Chains A and B, each alone.
Chain A
């Protein structure tokens, strides 16, 4: 810690001023609580300092943090890196940003202690990835999805936001596995992961939660940079689950048109999915309730012939087909 003296500013304005006047290597910005001002704060920090800007995010803030550190041709890169709390301050100076080398020129050259620390950090992050990522598809795993959904629901309770859960699986997946082999089955799962990720909005969180079962958490994006947060929230609330439905339908269509050579000449257009959608707060208040409702809708979709996505409707017993 002696190597990395640290100033803490409890007020954002103090932090920007300190950044403008101080000689910092790294500026850490706590995302929690900055909400709609985050875009303005990061812009001001960029103006104030050439130091690396690192976002200190909670798990549910990761999609936004990831977007803010990703360079977009049409959008200024707002921050250089992010870390998910809890964290160690030393990690600021050892963790390279996306596409960067291991250290910035200003960073002191690593001594034995830093080398150990960097190695430790690398291992911790590797373990974090193992704990939260599905190895086969690269999507988030069941544990992450449930934890993330729990945090987002907690936030939505406070802000009046809405959350929609989509649970889907691949129709007749066992058949493909048995007939074409497990390697083909794995490839189908990988293709499904790529397609669903492509169809979703950047902040939606996609995971594989079982064999051929996937989940998507659609949620309001309170950190949308440069937008009117209140208007967006109202809009998102009004559109839920319409937005989720349109994403689900787009994915269903794309998946159905996917050309999978591993399935032979007839591989194009044979794959279908079935799914269920459930929304907070209408269909459930907790993660368990939403998963239960979405699973019920999925089962009903299967019973009624597959290749369809059902939305839990009102009253609860009424399952409406989205077609």
Chain B
């Protein structure tokens, strides 16, 4: 039942409060690039959309709060279908360090300004819309991982052990 549209063009699934500036901006950006935008209130609804995509190309753009639900499982499901994710980290709301890390490890782009999403969108449209799935921690060099964690901790205002 999900993904009832008959078209086979690329689709941007926008996850978050439909009244938020972020979601409205993303829907507008997608339409400007002539891409179908599908707003979803939450990660659960987005998973239902993913389930109905079949072979259709999709980019998922959503708030960090929604996409990191259920301990980052959302990213794993997206990675299974090689669907690219982009997380909006709203610095005005709390975001768990683990959630940000799970997003990074899954290869999701993390942005802190809705306007940055346009770069992600154009890049995605330019290539084949797919990318390698989730990265295992061992796939990252130790220094890379530490740098990422240190950067994230600094961004979130946490102290690090490094």
What residue of chain B has the Cβ atom nearest to residue A50's Cβ? B1
Residues of A contacting B44 in the complex (Cβ-Cβ under 8 angstroms)? 12-13, 16, 37, 40-41, 43-44
Residues of B contacting A174 in the complex (Cβ-Cβ under 8 angstroms)? none
The answer to whether B17 has its CB under 8 Å from any CB of chain A is no
The answer to whether A236 has its CB under 8 Å from any CB of chain B is no
Residues of B contacting A45 in the complex (Cβ-Cβ under 8 angstroms)? 48
Q: Are B51 and A11 touching (Cβ within 8 A)?
A: no
- Point out the residue from A14, A19, A37, A50 that lies within 8 Å of B73, measured CB to CB: A14
The answer to whether B95 has its CB under 8 Å from any CB of chain A is no
* In the complex, per-residue mask of B26-66: 1 if CB is within 8 Å of any chain A CB, else 0: 00000000000000011111011111100000000000000
**What is the size category of the interface that chain A forms with chain B?**
10 to 19
Within the assembled complex, what's the spacing in Å between the Cα atoms of A279 and B96? 37
The answer to whether B116 has its CB under 8 Å from any CB of chain A is no
The answer to whether A199 has its CB under 8 Å from any CB of chain B is no
Number of interface residues of B (CB under 8 A): 18
* In the complex, per-residue mask of A122-158: 1 if CB is within 8 Å of any chain B CB, else 0: 0000000000000000000000000000000000000
A236 to chain B, nearest CB (A): 24
Q: Are B70 and A19 touching (Cβ within 8 A)?
A: no
The answer to whether A104 has its CB under 8 Å from any CB of chain B is no
Residues of B contacting A225 in the complex (Cβ-Cβ under 8 angstroms)? none
The answer to whether A49 has its CB under 8 Å from any CB of chain B is yes
- B interface residues (Cβ-Cβ under 8 A, vs A): 1-2, 41-45, 47-52, 69-70, 73-74, 77
- A interface residues (Cβ-Cβ under 8 A, vs B): 11-14, 16-17, 19-21, 37, 40-41, 43-45, 47-50
